[in-house]
Structure 1
């Protein structure tokens, strides 16, 4: 009797499945970046965000780590270069490119991470949505903090201002919204990978396909069932004055007095409307960031015109101003409460806690000066050291200045310190309408997240009020003068997201690390299998 060689063992140890070819993966990465871009304002196609995640995950799946990084970076460049084009209007093309490439590098690292966990999701297909959500949250957590305090612009959560997922912000903040969107994308890619049949002879069970489809639908539409916090019954009448500027662009810095006069004029017109009975008497008037770039504490003329406006409107004005310090070159970006008759209340002042690096201050200035002396054109903006809690008669305002609205902790600190409403003071005169609408989307998320009505006051727009359901009321146009008055309901309860703080994000980042660690033995096993197969 002749014995045949035992070959089935070799066949059982089949090599690792291959990734998609580069001819397919590279266009998918480009499409992923485009889908993520148009999901964000001003385009607002929020439903493309899960599709962008799915395309991204499929493009880097099963790739070598180096390829995963470069393909992920490609998707990041397609997203961030057009998304951040407004940064070039005031700073030029070089900072725009450096910022875009830095943000794209985080997408590259996430592509590497997706490639790393490929054996895990190949072995446990049900883990696709969970792993995708965790890795995306971890990536956003990293780029929201580093380098130099991070830059959270373009988070998945900020694309969901009109989506059902926005309601999840009340339960776990922006990280939970991002997780839901990315998990929906993970379910979509798992669905596509499961449904795809490389050969017509292979029959696969239908239940997993239906399961992933239902999971995606639940993650996208299910949040509609989540209740949102309703504010208290008490109200305060608040006015926004959007004074506008003579010209958009860098000329803003040469128009300081004109900009101040525009906001004074807008307030005086509102006072005339109130006196004639055509408008309600406000309890508070909010001017935007840089509405008085002339320091009114040190400049008597600026102080006089602001005091005249406050006296006429018979209400305190929250003035966005730049304060000089005793040290030449050092400034503070501040919101200060200016009362009728008595003038500025220096105890009710908020100084921006998170100045923008390379724009409002220069990190590593001595080192940067070795490269170019132009670094000294950037003034040194000092950071504040406490939350923006301003008590203006019947309402306690949580003041947040410009880009700070993108940072979870800064906004939450105002609520835990007693804010009844949010006021986001911003200056969009050196950017464009797209940047303003991206910022308004963040205000909408914050209102839902913390159960507080909010307003955004801009020099040029877009200004408006936001309810705790995320809806915008009385929004202004862009590059126009406008005055809006509304009764804002004062927050009375705190949401689960406010109470939990950063714990949901911390837990998800920790679980992402667990997933990365869990893929290690599977990668070793796959490498050993491939080596054995090649040896035979």
Structure 2
């Protein structure tokens, strides 16, 4: 008897399988290994297509639906395998930017490590679904588990890696309208829940669910998904007043551009002169249009040597600030006495003074410092490409510019909710992100990062000025509108009257509570599911049970 036939018997046949299923409202035909593998790989690839530069965000619920269907197997080992395949199909191409300077081995290791989190999700989700079936309650629990695992991945180890979080695929989606209300965790929960609706609906339409579930039962979950997406188009933004007095700052974000850097030396000799050229051009353009600047922003690593220790560079920056009649926020590396370094942002005034210093608080492990260097050197000599470990700053960076708070984040920091919340809580009325995407060559890292900036502009209720050495650079309003944009590998600037805001969105006010509550809900759902003895998917029989069943069939 095939596994499919045994599952159908749970609906009306006799025997032990039927007794296990008694009282379970939903019975699901288990997914066999080959279809599960295909679903997993296609699901992971669909998830990639949901992110920039493809922006097919509508595929993301289908990707999660495919994963959930792929783990509905009789054996947990098969679920672990299919979850791993989904994770590899997603994270390996997503993180290909790491290959540019780290090499193939570390890139594949990073993708494989991230995929392990999907295995954790798959096994936990399976534990719920094989016990409780595809119901509204199990769907909520599974969606909460997705948030919990995504939170874990964004936190552990060494501060985690939030790259690839669900919300970052929604920069062009109407679902982003929910962002200031429910935050990134809420967005992940909604998308994961829509994925479970799709999973249940499609399985019902295909006749893979029984015990009172008809094919037509698959229509309403599909309709619900469509209705939710359409409904989010009219979700209003929270009230978010500007500060008293000036409601905008005229900002020029200068993208100097450079030649493609050598991945071995990581040197950028032409970035500083290019920044001076592009700043001259931006200042002249604004003045030619009868305007004036309040602030100039340079990207991360835009000066090479720390200009506080190089009088010639310092004087050149002062001259540009005087021409623009505006301070310049610039990025530089500052060595420490013990051989380390800080990734600093400086507020350089027209008088040649430094009026503010911010040190990056979340250095990237294996990108800006090497944890357990002696151990990892035994695995790859690439660790020595990072010859000096970057130290973490301690305080949020909020500079005072004409009485307005300008929050500072450096590069990957825009992908971390707690860092964004910190600068808003500390009084930022606009957020500046300084980045050096030259390190990642022609990969999609730059366009994915600028999408993260747009998402957090909406979630935080703050305009975001995202400035890169080589692009992409952009300015986003708190509503997610693009005020100006500069493409990859071009020299130029983004200039706009940038809206200032003082209101606190519900998402920022909630802090970490959405992740905590949803993660707790997911774990509680797993424990409750495990406590029950009834199953919606029959377990794999032992070999002797199959032999006995075959013999009984032969006697019949």
Same-fold status (TM-score > 0.5): yes
Offset at 1:370? 5.1
- SS of the aligned residue for 1:46 comes to coil
Aligned to 2:8: none
User: Which of the residues 16, 19, 43 maps onto 1:13?
Assistant: 19
In the other structure, the counterpart of 1:365 is 373
Displacement of 1:292 after TM fit?
Answer: 1.1
User: Which of these residues, 251, 263, 288, is aligned with residue 275 of structure 2?
Assistant: 263
Q: How does 1:495-534 map to 2 (within 5 A)?
A: 495-523=505-533
For 1:211 and 1:273, locate their aligned partners in 2 and report how far apart those are by CA, in whole Å. Answer: 56
> Counterpart of 2:408 in 1: which secondary structure?
strand
| 8 A contact 2:207–2:215 mirrored in 1 | no
Match of 2:199 in 1: 189
Closer, same or farther: CA 237–112 of 1 in aligned 2, 3 Å: same
- The aligned counterpart of 1:439 is 449
Q: In structure 1, what is the Cα distance between the partners aligned to 2:484 and 2:17?
A: 68
The match for 2:75 among 47, 64, 74 is: 64
Residues 144-163 of structure 1: matches in 2 within 5 Å?
144-163=154-173
Residue 433 of structure 1 contacts residue 461 of structure 1 at CA under 8 Å; is this kept in 2? no
Distance 1:396 1:202, change over 3 A: closer
CA-based RMSD: 2.6
CA contact (8 A) 1:62 1:118 kept: no
Alpha-carbon deviation of 1:456?
Answer: 0.5
How many residues get paired? 523
Say yes or no: does 1:118 pair with 2:129. yes
Residue number in structure 1 paired with 2:9 = none
CA displacement at 1:446 relative to structure 2: 0.5
Decide which moves more: 386-395 or 22-31.
386-395
SS at match of 2:307: coil
Shift of 1:310: 1.1
- Which stretch shows the higher mean deviation, 351-360 or 16-25? 16-25
The equivalent position to 1:94 in structure 2, one of 87, 90, 105, is 105
Q: 2:430 matched to 1:424?
A: no
2:235 to 205, 226, 229: 226
Deviation at 1:282, TM superposition (A): 0.8
The residue aligned with 1:250 is 263
Q: Are 2:438 and 2:469, in contact at CA under 8 Å, matched by a contact in 1? A: yes
Deviation at 1:208, TM superposition (A): 4.0
State the distance in 1 between where 2:137 and 2:211 align: 23
Q: 1:235 aligns with which of 248, 253, 272?
A: 248
CA distance in structure 2 between the partners assigned to 1:486 and 1:252 by the alignment: 36
Partner of 2:53: 42
Give 3-state SS (helix, strand or coil) of 1:221's partner: helix
After superposition, the Cα gap between the structure-2 partners of 1:434 and 1:417, relative to the gap in structure 1 and judged at 3 Å, is same
Q: Which ranges in structure 1 are unaligned for 5 or more consecutive residues?
A: 1-6
Distance 2:131 2:293 in 1: 59
Tell me by how many angstroms 1:309 deviates.
1.1
Matched, 1:388 2:388: no
TM-score by length of 1: 0.91
Query: Which segment is superposed worse, 32-41 or 514-523?
Result: 514-523
Offset, 1:469 = 1.8
Aligned with 1:146: secondary structure? coil
1:180–1:219 CA contact under 8 A, matched in 2:
no
Deviation per residue, 1:393-434 (Å, 9 max, x gap): 243111110001111101110000000001111011121351
Distance 2:466 2:443 in 1: 14
Match of 2:358 among 333, 343, 350: 350
Counterpart CA distance in 1 for 2:59 and 2:48 is: 9
Map residues 20-31 of structure 1 onto 2, 5 A cutoff: 20-31=31-42
Match of 1:3 in 2: none
- Residues 36-88 of structure 1, C-alpha deviation per residue, up to 9 Å, x if partnerless? 00000011000000110111100111442222111101011111111111110
- Post-superposition shift, 1:223? 1.9
Query: Matched residues in 1 for 2:534 and 2:236: separation?
Result: 46
Alpha-carbon distance, 1:377 to partner: 3.8
**Structure 2 vs 1, CA of residues 252 and 415 (structure 1 numbering), >3 Å: closer, same or farther?**
farther
What is the Cα deviation at residue 484 of structure 1? Answer: 2.1
Identify if the C-alpha distance between structure 1 residues 428 and 12 changes in structure 2 by more than 3 Å, giving closer, same or farther: closer
Q: TM-score, normalised by structure 2?
A: 0.88
Shift of 1:113: 1.3
5+ unaligned residues in a row in structure 2: which ranges?
1-12, 22-26, 550-556
